[in-house]
Structure 1
Amino acid sequence: MRFHGRKSWIRCLAHITSLICEGVLQDLKAGTAKEAKKMLDKWDEENKSNNYTIPGDSSRSGIAKIRLLNLWILRSGPREQDFKSMPRTHYRKPIYDVDTRWNSAYDMIDQFLELEAEYTEFVDTHPQVKCLLPLSEEIVALYQLRKVLKPFKDHTLKVSEAMPPISQSLDIYWDLEALLDDVVEGVGDFADLDMSIRNAFSKGKAKHITYMKKLDDQMMLFAAHILDPRYKTHQLEMMIPDQYSEIMAKVKKYFKTEWPGLARLNATNSTMSQSRPAERPQGVSIAQWRAIEMKKAKEAEAGAAIPISELERWFATPRIEFDESIAKSPDFLRKWWKEHKGEWPLLAAAARDLLSVSGSEVDVERLFSGCRDEFGIRRHALKADTVRVLTLLRSAYTREDNVDQTLIKAAMEYDILPFANSIIWRPDHIPGKLVDGENPPPQPPAPAEVPTEAPTGAPSEPPTPKPPASQTDKSAISTPYPDTMKVSED
């Protein structure tokens, strides 16, 4: 599989969900944290203090009020202590949203509704922010908004944590489309939604449709979906019947372009060869026997060797039957292709290339966001290759220490006594390591050898020569600090 620039660009599923929800919040005039901070800075500068009455604004939404109230509390230590003085908020801190993470707005709304009584009590003791307490009708709307945003929050967390392969991307797109349809049309749990919220999600659905149309040029997603033996082309034919023929033609072209071996025709028996007796069975007339032989000969001639490619054979074979346990198994697809790579060698190579691609880039972003913890001012000049090796080693050692404890213990018990304390084996645990300023432990004095006197008149035996170090037992190798060479059993 080759890289084709923007044509190989897979859009992050978590990012698409974020764009949809950000559009919904923007339509509801939720504002942003950046705007709220600028507003507070302006008021602080105008009043030359932080103890002033917040001016009211009829156009300010309930979400914007909560954000301003939380930021106002966090701008003063005494105000924050007053907020934490209540029993249910003793270990809680007011949450304000982050502009690049829409689900933080959901967390902010959820916290306010959970601690509504505490917020009301706080505002009663701080009349400067009385205008920032949402009205009763705004609180009702916030309850509805929290209810409708909860499935999108769960969807975002699922995509971010599970890191599904692109073979599941189409399923996630379709699930998101069904959820948006239910919200916009007010079906089921969303029947009591206010019309303003439904209209806001109508614009979110329009953005989702925009990204759905872009899927027509991303054959990589359709190819990965077809390689799932549980579905093959069944779901495509069911979910997009109008585009099915066009999509299938593009998918076949994509397979044959990226993996040319899939276009090669192979001779394949269309019918199972049935063994027949060489001689006429007893009780069968000669005419009947010749008729049977002639029929079998025609069947063999018609279907003995039909040229068919491995890709066409994959489409021709039925999909496998599966139950709920197989449908929810995250490792089923990988294990299935590992077991059947002998039957489908060319498609197994395509599956290895496609199914290793993640439908979300959250894991990559998380890796890069942690680099500031590894590289600072003292280590900012490291080469790119060095940074790559260090990052991979750190990840590998972390995984091994948590998962492969048995393998690590077996490796440490291997006959590597002279290298037991090497950083290769224990990068972060070196027994006997000296802290700066410490002196090495004192060595015990060697026991003095007492010469033995031979009996009078007995011939003296020549001294036994000491064998070289290479012939001695490995456990007898002399080391400067024997205690530090002891293999740790932890």
Structure 2
Amino acid sequence: MPQLRAIVRAVRSSPQRQQTWFKEIAMTMNKEDDEKSPALMLILDVKTRWSSTHQMLRRALDYREVIEGFVSRHRDLRQHELSEADWRSLVLVTDWLKSFRSATTQMSATKSPMLSTTHAIFRGLQDELKSILRSLPNTVDVKIKTGLIEAHRKLSDYYHKFDESPFYMWSALLDPRISYEVMKDDYANDPTLAAYLEESKEDLTTYFHDPHGPFATIRPSSFHSLKNFVARFQRKTKAFVRDELAEYYKLTQDPEDFMKCNPVQWWTAHRAQFPNLFWLARDILSIPGSAVAVERIFSGGRDNISLRRASLHPETIRVLMLVKKKLHLARAEVNAALRK
């Protein structure tokens, strides 16, 4: 990996090197044909860009022949020349990182709830790392094996962090795409997770049925203009108390609509059936699973707050950011209408 990074930095180091790179592509891969895909620059991974390492490796593998030719023609890069074993290792690592890139892409989504799938994503990554470690040959590079072990430990640390908040598991229990019975079966071989699931379910039930809690009664959706003062003389009947949470757990999961279901839209459609539970599900499922949305806003704010506009008033910045978001949404609506 350090060898490849050194090569990528050298290729991108100057306009002259970049021009030489594109000429190397033309000679090696015969890219003059306009019908073929355009020549691309190598990607350098950075710590602040998620999945950039996977992108760097995938681009390098696509241009392996070009990289080898470029290195052979530059004496200062021959010390970083990659062997056949190095390329095989890069293929393995690229394949492994594909799952991590998919996971980070799903967890950074902002148009659909993702907090409920966090446990499933990290559990899936851990299982995949275990499978990879078991299948590694004895001849594999020690650095690769060490990196996989450290990645597994880091995921375990995140699991402990999740346990500090009940909302991760509560959101999973309230996600119609995820069945409690299915989670119970999935955790059957892990006593710790099985116990945590039951504990979370019990805590959610206690919180929802708290007589002094926010979900003890249906939230009023409107105000009546007239009050019925004679209602006090009506015959008192014993009210039937519905256990909405128990009814929700009894619902069967539809496998065909599993991927199509949007949790927020599902709860909106079933609001009449679960009038109290709807509010709890809406509040929990609206919790963002990561800080990606906030980071995107800060990154976009750099366009408005430049060096020459560093003295903007906070209210002015707020208005500019809101106007920018409004324009972005309006442009998206226009593009959607044109596609139709």
- TM-score higher than 0.5: yes
| RMSD across aligned positions (CA) | 3.2
Does residue 329 (structure 1) correspond to residue 260 (structure 2)? The answer is yes
Match for 1:328: what amino acid?
M
Instruction: Answer whether contact 2:184 2:197 (CA < 8 A) is retained.
Output: yes
- Is 1:64 paired with 2:17? no
- In the alignment, which residue of structure 1 is the partner of 2:322? 392
Equivalents in 2 of 1:254, 1:386: separation in Å?
42
- Show the 5 A alignment for 1:63-462: 63-86=1-24, 87=26, 88=29, 91-101=39-49, 103-161=51-109, 164-165=112-113, 166-186=115-135, 194=140, 196=142, 197-238=144-185, 239=187, 240-256=193-209, 260-263=213-216, 308=241, 310-314=243-247, 318-324=250-256, 326-331=257-262, 333-403=263-333
CA shift for structure 1 position 309: 5.5
Whole-Å Cα distance in 2 between the matches of residues 261 and 307 of structure 1?
20
TM-superposed deviation, 1:205: 0.9
- C-alpha distance after superposition, 1:28-85 (max 9, x if no partner): xxxxxxxxxxxxxxxxxxxxxxxxxxxxxxxxxxx11111122223334333322221
Q: How many residues align?
A: 301
Q: Please give the per-residue CA displacement for 1:164-185, whole angstroms capped at 9, x wherever unaligned.
A: 4222222223222222222222
Relative to structure 1, the CA distance from residue 74 to residue 402 in structure 2 (aligned partners, 3 Å threshold; closer, same or farther) is: closer
Q: Distance in 2 between matches of 1:126 and 1:230?
A: 55
Q: Structure 2: which 5+ runs fail to align? A: 32-37, 188-192, 219-236
By how many angstroms is 1:355 displaced?
1.6
Cα distance in structure 1, aligned partners of 2:102 and 2:208:
34
Contact 2:169 / 2:197 at 8 angstroms: preserved in 1? no
5+ residue gaps, structure 1, are 1-62, 266-303, 408-490
Contact 1:164 1:358 in 2 (8 A): no
Q: Could you report, residue by residue, the CA deviation over 1:343-395 in whole angstroms, capped at 9, with x for unpaired residues? A: 22211111221122222322221121011112224543333233223322221
Is contact 1:97–1:105 with CA below 8 Å preserved after alignment? yes
Q: Distance in 2 between matches of 1:347 and 1:204?
A: 38
Amino acid aligned to 1:319: L
Aligned residue number for residue 458 of structure 1: none
Q: What is the CA distance between 1:338 and its match in structure 2? A: 1.3
Percent of aligned pairs with the same residue? 23
Q: 2-side partners of 1:399 and 1:151: how far apart? A: 31
Structure of higher CA gyration radius: 1
Q: 1:330 to 1:307 in 2, by over 3 A?
A: closer
Contact 1:220 / 1:354 at 8 angstroms: preserved in 2? yes
Report which of the two has the higher share of helix. Answer: 2
C-alpha displacement at 1:305, in angstroms? 6.5
Determine helix, strand or coil for the equivalent of 2:195: coil
- How far apart, CA to CA, are the structure 2 residues paired with 1:388 and 1:257? 39
SS in 2 for 1:260: coil
Report the secondary structure of 2:287's partner residue: coil
Q: 1:193 to 1:358 in 2, by over 3 A?
A: farther
Call closer, same or farther: CA 1:232–1:80 in 2, change over 3 Å. Answer: closer
Go from structure 1 to structure 2 and tell me whether the alpha carbon gap of 1:255 and 1:184 turns closer, same or farther (over 3 Å shift): farther
Mapped to 1, the partners of 2:180 and 2:78 lie a distance apart of 59
Structure 2 distance, partners of 1:139, 1:339, is 52
Q: Compared with structure 1, are the counterparts of its residues 306 and 148 closer, same or farther at alpha carbon in structure 2 (3 Å cutoff)? A: same
